[in-house]
């Protein structure tokens, strides 16, 4: 049940359910299914119809929207997307998240911060979630190219959308939805002024993409390159905590 409180004291009910299909994807799935049935039933082209029908099922799967149990620690920053951590780098935040935009709300401060990049494949859940709770201060869309999201220059050259969240304590967290080689449409569910709970759905990117998270100054990543993360559940950092994280590849 959405919104149910779960903890490590036994509250909650174990079980598996078919994930819901997000409304944004239902129309695409229905169009694909209708085209498949037309080819299969009306034209009687079984060689083409059956693969198309299987592909239409894949379209529905792409837009699946499972429920997530969001960790509630005040200083936790969680993954905004399902996928693989592809890069952890020290960079300057995008100018669009720094400069005065005339809204009266400050952007991210200048200076190097840690950026965690998460790459999604077409098989991942593509619903994006906010890594921190607070008020949406900026939503900045930038048109661009559609090169592979795994390339570093995708952060500066691809179609992308920056979102800035300001927490109740004034700490600001920025993140960016980046279209990839296949992804051609960034969809956002939020606007400036919206108040979000941590882990709340904020948008999606159709058919493969990347999410960059800019951690607050003085905060290191709590994940490693190559690690698989889950949107709304995996803790990727704790504000103000700086640790060397080590692991063994097995």
CA 34 to CA 2: how far, in whole Å?
31
Task: Show me where the domains of the chain are located.
Answer: 1-67, 76-238
User: Whole-prediction pTM value?
Assistant: 0.84
Model confidence pLDDT, tens digit, residues 193-235: 999 999 999 998 876 689 999 999 999 999 999 999 999 999 9
CB-based contact 146:159 (threshold 8 Å): yes
What single DSSP character describes residue 167?
-
pLDDT at position 98, please?
94
Please compute the mean of the pLDDT values over residues 37-56 and round it to a whole number.
Answer: 78
- And the tokens for 159? 């179609």
Strand, helix or coil for residue 28: helix
Tell me the CATH number of domain 76-238, given options 2.70.70.10, 3.40.640.10, 3.40.50.970, 3.40.50.10710.
2.70.70.10
Q: In the chain, helix, strand, coil percent, each to 5? A: 20, 30, 50
Report the percent of the chain where pLDDT is more than 90.
49
Identify the active-site residue in 86, 117, 155, 209. 209
CA 185 to CA 196: how far, in whole Å?
23
Average the pLDDT over each of 57-66, 78-87, 150-159 and give the range with the smallest value: 150-159
Active site includes 148? no
Q: Please report which confidence band the pLDDT of residue 34 belongs to, taking 50, 70 and 90 as the band edges.
A: confident
């Amino acid at each position: 049940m959405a919104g149910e409180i779960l903890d490590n004291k036994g509250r909650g009910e174990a079980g598996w359910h078919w994930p819901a299909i997000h409304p944004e994807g239902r129309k695409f799935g229905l169009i694909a299914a209708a085209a498949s049935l037309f080819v299969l039933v009306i034209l009687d082209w079984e060689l083409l119809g059956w693969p198309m029908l299987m592909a239409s099922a894949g379209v529905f799967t792409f837009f699946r929207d499972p429920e997530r149990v969001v960790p509630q620690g005040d200083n936790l920053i969680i993954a905004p997307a399902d996928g693989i951590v592809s890069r952890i780098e020290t960079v300057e935040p995008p100018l669009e998240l720094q400069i005065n935009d005339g809204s009266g709300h400050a952007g991210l401060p200048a200076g190097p911060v840690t950026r965690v990049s998460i790459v999604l494949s077409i098989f991942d859940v593509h619903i994006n979630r906010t890594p921190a709770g607070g008020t949406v201060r900026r939503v900045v869309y930038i048109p661009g190219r559609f090169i592979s999201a795994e390339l570093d220059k995708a952060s500066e050259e691809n179609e992308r959308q920056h979102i800035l969240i300001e927490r109740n304590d004034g700490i600001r967290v920025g993140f960016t939805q980046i279209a990839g080689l296949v992804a051609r449409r960034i969809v956002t569910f939020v606007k400036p002024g919206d108040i979000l709970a941590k882990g709340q759905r904020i948008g999606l990117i159709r058919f493969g993409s990347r999410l960059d998270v800019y951690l607050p100054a003085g905060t290191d990543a709590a994940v490693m390159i190559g690690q698989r993360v889950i949107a709304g559940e995996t803790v990727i950092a704790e504000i103000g905590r700086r640790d060397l994280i080590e692991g063994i590849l097995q």
